[in-house]
Structure 1
Amino acid sequence: MDNQLFVDTWGWLTLHDQGEDRHQEVVNFYHQFRLKSDN
């Protein structure tokens, strides 16, 4: 596995909580990272 990503507790909370200010930005980043990692 070449790509690794560390997500701290607050990162997971932001990813889960749609009310967080940067939620959509984090969701987009995480999805793009997963797409690149799966290839």
Structure 2
Amino acid sequence: MDSTSDKRIAAMRGSLMDTALEAAESRGQRLAGLTSSPA
């Protein structure tokens, strides 16, 4: 495998991780909002 596709895969994996972290963060905030509300 040449370094060009290596870089592309690394960048793709990095952006996927960023997306997953953002999704987990927003999910955590939504859960925190639900648990803190008295309803």
Report the TM range for the smaller structure's normalisation.
Answer: 0.3 to 0.5
Q: Higher relative CO (CA 8 A, sep ≥ 6), structure 1 or 2?
A: 1
User: Higher helix fraction: Structure 1 or Structure 2?
Assistant: 2
Give the alignment's TM-score, normalised by structure 2: 0.47
Larger radius of gyration: 2
Give the alignment's TM-score, normalised by structure 1: 0.47
